[in-house]
Amino acid sequence: MKTKINTLLLLFSCYFILAQNASEKKLFTSFDKIIGLENTTLSYGALFKEKYRSINGNHHYFITNKFKTADIFYNSEPFFNIKLKYDIADDIVIREYTEEGKKFNIALENSLVSKFNIDNHSFINTTEYGFVEVLYKTKTTFLLKKHKKIKYKKLDKNFVYYNFKENYIYILKYNNEYFNIEKTKNLYVVFPNKKQKIKDFKKQHSFLLKHNKDAFYTQLITSLNTNRK
């Protein structure tokens, strides 16, 4: 017992030494390596087993069905350089877990996930929509994107499989109120004094709207939010 206590004291001493010489991200990453992720709250969750068979590279994850290096706030604690993937069909964040050389998948508890960053895309957890990507934010304005994948059950001669079709909706959180943005006209309710500006922006950026909606709505909301007169 005394040996274990001395070991813990040594670990915490290392933690505080690191705190004096490293950035916050590097600090937490180093400390997690010292104590082991399986000894942190990031081990909370249920074993995840894939329930959808798919073919021809079709999948139900965000961007890729491979694990990516990511950052996450879990149970109010930050973790960096973690292997994660995001199931957007069932809105679940999955972590790769290694124990004694064997790899397992853990479905993290949604209620404990505050936010995460994967492939340079930032997500937050909302009561209203679950996990949503943050495209733009200020103190009063958030442009959000809810990623979805709709599943279609298929019957083959020998087995059942699923196809997934990507879908999404844009959401504007403005002064703590949420608005679904399916068309630019939906913004008239939020910005009633800027109808003409919205119409002009749409006309001037029709190509962007057709080919890159994320950029279009980000630039539009930035423009509307820059000058509130």
Band (pLDDT 50/70/90 cuts) for residue 28 is very low
pLDDT score recorded for residue 228: 55
Spatial contact of 138 and 225, defined as CB atoms under 8 Å apart? yes
The model scores a pTM over 0.85? no
Token pair recorded at residue 1: 């017992």
Predicted confidence (pLDDT) at residue 135 exceeds the cutoff of 60: yes
Predicted confidence (pLDDT) at residue 111 exceeds the cutoff of 90: yes
Predicted confidence (pLDDT) at residue 168 exceeds the cutoff of 90: yes
Band (pLDDT 50/70/90 cuts) for residue 40 is low
Q: Which residue has the higher pLDDT, 167 or 45?
A: 167
Cα–Cα distance between 114 and 125 in angstroms, integer? 5
Spatial contact of 52 and 88, defined as CB atoms under 8 Å apart? no
Token pair recorded at residue 147: 């990623």
The domain spans of the chain are: 1-35, 183-229
Spatial contact of 15 and 31, defined as CB atoms under 8 Å apart? yes
- What is 153-165 written as a DSSP string? EEE-SS-EEEEEE
Mean pLDDT of the chain: 84
